[in-house]
Structure 1
Amino acid sequence: MLAVAPTASAAEIREVTGFGTNPGALRMFEYVPDGLPQGRPVVVAMHGCTQNAAGYGAGAGWVELAERSAFTLVLPQQESVNNISRCFNWFQPGDTTRGQGEAASIAQMVQRAIADTGADPSRVYVTGLSAGGAMTSVLLGAYPDMFAGGGVVAGLPLGCAASSLEAFTCMNPGKNLTPAQWGDKVRAAAGSHQGPWPTLSVWHGTADYTVAYANQRELVEQWTNVHGIPDTPSATDTIAGYPHAVYRDSTGRPLVETFSITGMGHGQPIDPGTADQQCGQAGAYQLDVNICAAWHLTQSWSLQPTAG
């Protein structure tokens, strides 16, 4: 008789339980490519309202990019018992303070992912759409020691709202504070942390009437102030036909960047296809605009394995 070795199961999104005390009562999903070596990065990707972890992970392109570029993907999921629309509670102080609520739950997910996969703790990144984008801002401020960079897609600055009523005003028309006022909100959230600070990439549609495009400018003011750099761009160009601006420090290091997706409404920019720069699957709030935000974030964060 011939012994037949079992076929290795292909990687898939799986739920991880028991990842910590989970004070925010979230669910943790994870995608780990088969044969992932130790020392690779971690990306946390958070869905928008009405979405779920698996749908966003696949739709935004993050699952295929995790496979292609060999990193661990953490997909937090909100539950309707916490928020009827399944939005992350980016406006509730009990969920946005370090060590508390949903922010602490997501930080525990990161710690679990690092422990499980032997990931590089200095290469952890966070991104999200809409409420997930706003929660990205929260995590960058509350846990700047944990995240090397963030990508806010159609999101809002940290500290814009402290109640559900105030959240709607922040979303549209937005809140206009000075750069120093915005920066102070990050410094207050970070406590004793003095730096270094995470880098930030901001993506927003110019025709977004759910979360006003003005929020992109407030995010730039917030994080250039935190980094101590001018809030005027060091360089501007176009990528895939869309305006792109970069804000650098005195050494030339890019610390903040923006992508303005002309004419796009509220959603995640994607570019379905199999070419190198393409990713994503079109659907609700996953908008085919011929540029995939997730792919460009992998470039900004240098997630690709080095040759050799």
Structure 2
Amino acid sequence: MGQSRPPFRCTRSRRLRGGIRRWVTAAAGALALTGGLIAASPQASAAGLTQVTGFGTNPGNLSMFTYAPDALPADAPLVVALHGCAQSASDYYARSGWPKFADTYGFALVLPQTNSANNANSCFNWFEPGDSVRGQGESLSIKQMVDKAVSLYGSDNRRVHITGLSAGGAMTANMLAAYPDVFAGGAIASGPPARCANSVAAAYTCMYSPPDRSPAQWGDLVRSAAPAGTTSWPRVAIWQGTADTTVKPANATELRDQWTNVLGLGQTPSRTESLGGGTTRSVYDDASGRPSVEVYSVSGMGHGLAVDPGNGPEQCGSTGAYYLDTVCSSYHTARFWGLDDDGSTGSLPAPGLTVTGTTDTTVSLSRKAVDGAASYVVNRGGTKVGTTTSTSYTDTGLATGTTYTCTAAASDTAGAAGVVSSPATATTTGFTPTCHTDSTYDHAVAGRAYQSGGHAYAKGSGQAMGLWNTFTTRTLKQAAPAHYVIADSSCPA
């Protein structure tokens, strides 16, 4: 390979596996094993990140970085975020949007980082049994980081969650299977099902053509990886772009089958909702009506993490290689996990909340009465927008053609808010068209188009834009949310 091998602190067998990984990666034309993320990233040194050493025996040879907001209270949640191939802790910290919600909702972050000594493209080794099963390798290193962070920040060990992109998403799925006693919830972005692969060859099969197993077969893989007698399982969010050619969309279907089976649910969603950025959310409730699995399908999005740069309460992150401008996945994931709730709820149950109408600037809501409620708090995007004693409420001053997510909670006479309702999503009417002139490559990076087979296509309309490169320039008009049409001669740039 023309390169000297870095020193290993591991056994001879681990060194041999490292050599095999390098050979396969080179033979695949530098396509990263499990993610296709090949852009270079800086090492973790971003302001706000702190490197933590001495967190355990660290058999996986990983680095630990953390972020905690100022004045973080005791018993706050903890989120573990795993980067993709050739990325780093600082890259994920800077672009994923998670620090914003750590500040907003009050929780600590752990960002593990792997390296080229473990894997030629700095992928987490989700396909290696010695790194992805309970009590071994990288999985044990991540578990030791959780223990260290809980000790450092006084985190609530009942509210620990894990998420990751691509290879980090694959490792997330395996961590949820191996440590259901550690994680209350997980989110898998552009990754395959848990225990899908136990070798390099199987990893490629999972990425490009995942096995079509039954829900019970997928569920058995999780149950066999967990401690014997496990009865409590994490809640799982699944994020997938429909135009992903690296980790094919069929993986999201198999993931849904796997985790709905583990949680004892059917594969028919309790409800389906449309979000901004061409995203459809399918919700699978448990017997009590609590969302336990959510699948987010992002129309036209390729391989990467969904972000939505901006200062709005539902926006986050920044675009870049494999950070795609569609919708803020970190926001929706945090709310699915309940991180917007400080845990100090009263005893009142959740009111039923429905959307009764929209205009270009308002959303009208209706709620069911709760016995013992003195008033009702209405939230938009996790932020309180009003209090009412009426059965209806109208949220005003909204932007046209924009999707909003609202919840409500009943408050008792002491002012303690009870359980938050399931989200009610609505899109205001009206839309102001905008025009964008750029290369077909940059249109795709910005989320206005997607690529397939080396050609670019307008998001929403699917119109062919020509070759996907930095030289072909087209003008797109956004005619509706997440819907673009070619307008080279009929739309000013």
CA distance in 2, matches of 1:96, 1:66: 27
User: Which stretch of structure 1 is more off in the superposition, 250-259 or 15-24?
Assistant: 250-259
Q: Could you report, residue by residue, the CA deviation over 1:183-216 in whole angstroms, capped at 9, with x for unpaired residues?
A: 0100010031422100000000000000000000
Say if 2:236 is the partner of 1:211. no
**How big is the shift at 1:57?**
1.6
Q: Give the conservation status (yes or no) of the 8 Å contact 1:144–1:193.
A: no
Matches within 5 A, 1:3-22: 12-22=48-58
Which amino acid counterpart does residue 129 of structure 1 have in structure 2?
L
SS in 1 for 2:141: helix
Which amino acid counterpart does residue 228 of structure 1 have in structure 2?
G
Which amino acid counterpart does residue 153 of structure 2 have in structure 1?
T
Given candidates 307, 321, 326, the residue that maps to 1:284 is 321
Say if 2:123 is the partner of 1:87. yes
Matches within 5 A, 1:1-308: 12-240=48-276, 241-289=278-326, 291-304=327-340, 306=342
SS in 2 for 1:201: strand
Q: Could you report, residue by residue, the CA deviation over 1:69-103 in whole angstroms, capped at 9, with x for unpaired residues?
A: 21100000011100001110001000111100111
Unaligned 5+ segments in structure 1 are 1-10
CA distance in 2, matches of 1:245, 1:305: 22
Q: Give the conservation status (yes or no) of the 8 Å contact 1:42–1:119.
A: yes
User: Which stretch of structure 1 is more off in the superposition, 66-75 or 241-250?
Assistant: 241-250
SS in 2 for 1:182: helix
Which amino acid counterpart does residue 274 of structure 1 have in structure 2?
N
**How big is the shift at 1:232?**
1.2
Q: Could you report, residue by residue, the CA deviation over 1:221-274 in whole angstroms, capped at 9, with x for unpaired residues?
A: 101111111011111111114211011122212110101000000000000011
CA distance in 2, matches of 1:261, 1:239: 9
SS in 2 for 1:19: coil
**How big is the shift at 1:305?**
5.3
Q: Give the conservation status (yes or no) of the 8 Å contact 2:235–2:337.
A: no
SS in 1 for 2:300: coil
SS in 2 for 1:233: coil
SS in 2 for 1:66: helix
CA distance in 2, matches of 1:251, 1:302: 16
Q: Could you report, residue by residue, the CA deviation over 1:289-308 in whole angstroms, capped at 9, with x for unpaired residues?
A: 1x100011111112125489
CA separation of 1:94 and 1:60: change in aligned 2, threshold 3 A: same
Larger radius of gyration: 2
CA distance in 2, matches of 1:57, 1:81: 22
CA distance in 1, matches of 2:77, 2:225: 25
Q: Give the conservation status (yes or no) of the 8 Å contact 1:242–1:262.
A: yes
Which amino acid counterpart does residue 71 of structure 2 have in structure 1?
G
User: Which stretch of structure 1 is more off in the superposition, 184-193 or 139-148?
Assistant: 184-193
Q: Show structure 1 runs of 4+ deviating over 6 A.
A: none
SS in 1 for 2:171: helix
CA distance in 1, matches of 2:148, 2:193: 27
Q: Give the conservation status (yes or no) of the 8 Å contact 1:70–1:305.
A: no
CA distance in 2, matches of 1:169, 1:23: 28
**How big is the shift at 1:64?**
2.0
SS in 1 for 2:145: helix
Which amino acid counterpart does residue 59 of structure 1 have in structure 2?
R
Q: Give the conservation status (yes or no) of the 8 Å contact 1:58–1:64.
A: no
User: Which stretch of structure 1 is more off in the superposition, 42-51 or 188-197?
Assistant: 188-197
CA separation of 1:110 and 1:193: change in aligned 2, threshold 3 A: farther
1:5 maps to which residue? none
2:42 maps to which residue? none
CA distance in 2, matches of 1:305, 1:155: 28
Task: Please tell me the root mean square deviation across aligned C-alpha atoms, in Å.
Answer: 1.4
SS in 1 for 2:54: coil
CA distance in 2, matches of 1:97, 1:193: 17
Which one scores higher on RCO, CA 8 angstroms, separation ≥ 6? 1
CA distance in 1, matches of 2:51, 2:311: 27
CA distance in 2, matches of 1:50, 1:12: 21
SS in 2 for 1:138: helix
Q: Give the conservation status (yes or no) of the 8 Å contact 1:187–1:226.
A: yes
Q: Give the conservation status (yes or no) of the 8 Å contact 2:309–2:317.
A: yes
Unaligned 5+ segments in structure 2 are 1-46, 345-415, 417-493
User: Which stretch of structure 1 is more off in the superposition, 62-71 or 90-99?
Assistant: 62-71
CA distance in 2, matches of 1:239, 1:63: 22
